[in-house]
């Protein structure tokens, strides 16, 4: 697999636009424990946000995204006036998509940048996260405690399970914690440092991400339900299942990759992939059974034929 790991130049970027807010009241809006309605406590400091409340006094992700979109459109006009040979456009809105996407074209490249509206709250994590982030065996108890002291991040994300899509739901986001875990992924704390020994964890994640990307390009309709977050979540669960650096030696990359793949296939078969931080939230539901079976078949085919898709 080694040549697969450097294959693709990154052409998609995510930027979180973070707005600090002192305190908000979080009310779960369904049984996932990941989606919330937000309301202000008495006399909020952030008076400028009051115009984004809906008629029930909930902070409307939809209204805030619309306002942000207008600001970005205006700025993009200014930018393009001043830079030669660069064409920047704001992509049309996709329903339920939390991001505002910029297409940037230069004579030599084309990239897309997702700008994600994010609130950063100075308060403790909600109760639904209590049994998540089970990293004690892998990263240690102290690391878990420190990570849970980090702020709460919420992204403007439409909850698809809502009966009426009003655009006032927010979803917990842990990408700052995920980044931290990916950067400090060793149980021995020296893993992959210049003088430490290299492990295969990140390479396994890259390979499965690439495999899914390629399959999605081949079967966009059938695999529409899947995204790299599924692969990443399964990865974190595997790091917990096999917590030691000796479980992920660089020399055994193919063995490690196949174990990780086996775990992912197991999740697909059961339609069961618990969110790593909000364990009651299943990222695959039984109504996605057909999609899960389809992806499962495709991955098995790749596995049994020594990954022809990596050779293409």
Give the per-residue pLDDT at 2: 47
Between 167 and 176, the more confident residue is: 176
Provide mean pLDDT across the span 73-89: 81
Q: What is the pLDDT of residues 124-163, one digit of tens each?
A: 999 999 999 999 999 999 999 999 999 999 998 776 665 5
Distance CA 99, CA 135 (A): 30
Q: What is the pLDDT of residues 297-309, one digit of tens each?
A: 999 999 999 889 8
Domain limits, the chain: 1-184, 194-311
259: Cβ contacts below 8 Å, ≥ 6 apart: 238, 242
Provide mean pLDDT across the span 83-87: 79
Question: Alpha-carbon Rg of the chain, whole angstroms?
Answer: 21
Beta carbons of 265 and 20 less than 8 angstroms apart: no
Distance CA 138, CA 145 (A): 13
User: 23: closest CA among 59, 63, 54?
Assistant: 59
User: 256: closest CA among 270, 272, 267, 242?
Assistant: 242
Q: Is the pTM of this model over 0.85?
A: yes
pLDDT band at 164 (very low <50, low <70, confident <90, very high): low
* CATH class of domain segment(s) 194-311: mainly alpha
Top-confidence range, 42-46, 68-72, 74-78, 267-271: 267-271
Distance CA 89, CA 105 (A): 9
Q: Give me the chain's average pLDDT, please.
A: 89
Give the per-residue pLDDT at 282: 95
Task: Look at the domain 1-184 and name its fold.
Answer: Beta Polymerase; domain 2 (3.30.460)
User: 267: closest CA among 222, 236, 310?
Assistant: 236
Give the per-residue pLDDT at 249: 93
Q: What is the pLDDT of residues 197-243, one digit of tens each?
A: 899 999 999 999 999 999 999 999 999 999 999 999 999 999 999 99
Give the per-residue pLDDT at 76: 86
User: 286: closest CA among 301, 302, 269?
Assistant: 269
Determine the 3-state secondary structure of 19 from DSSP.
Answer: strand
Give percent above pLDDT 90 in the chain.
Answer: 63
């Amino acid at each position: 697999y080694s040549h697969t790991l450097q294959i693709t130049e990154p052409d998609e970027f995510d930027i979180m636009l973070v707005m600090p807010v002192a305190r908000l009241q979080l009310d779960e809006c369904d049984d996932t424990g990941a989606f919330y309605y937000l309301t202000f406590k008495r006399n909020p400091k952030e008076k400028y946000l009051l115009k984004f409340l809906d008629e029930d006094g909930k902070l409307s992700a939809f209204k805030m995204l619309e306002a942000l979109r207008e600001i970005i459109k205006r700025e993009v006009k200014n930018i393009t006036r001043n830079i030669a040979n660069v064409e920047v456009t704001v992509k049309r809105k996709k329903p339920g998509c939390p991001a505002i996407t910029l297409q940037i074209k230069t004579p030599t490249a084309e990239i897309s940048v997702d700008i994600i509206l994010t609130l950063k709250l100075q308060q403790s994590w909600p109760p639904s996260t209590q049994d998540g982030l089970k990293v004690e065996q892998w990263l240690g108890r102290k690391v878990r405690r420190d990570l849970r002291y980090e702020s709460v991040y919420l992204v403007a994300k439409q909850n698809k399970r809502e009966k009426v899509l009003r655009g006032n739901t927010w979803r917990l986001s842990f990408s700052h914690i995920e980044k931290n875990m990916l950067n400090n992924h060793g149980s021995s704390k020296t893993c992959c440092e210049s003088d430490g020994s290299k492990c295969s964890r990140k390479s396994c994640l890259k390979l499965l991400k690439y495999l899914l990307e390629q399959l999605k390009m081949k079967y966009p309709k059938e695999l529409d339900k899947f995204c790299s977050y599924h692969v990443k979540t399964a990865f974190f669960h595997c790091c917990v299942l096999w917590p030691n650096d000796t479980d992920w030696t660089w020399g055994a990359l193919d063995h490690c990759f196949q174990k990780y793949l086996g775990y992912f296939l197991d999740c697909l078969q059961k339609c069961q992939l618990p969110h790593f931080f909000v364990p009651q939230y299943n990222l695959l539901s039984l109504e996605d059974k057909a999609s899960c079976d389809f992806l499962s078949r495709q991955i098995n085919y790749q596995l049994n034929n020594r990954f022809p898709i990596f050779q293409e």
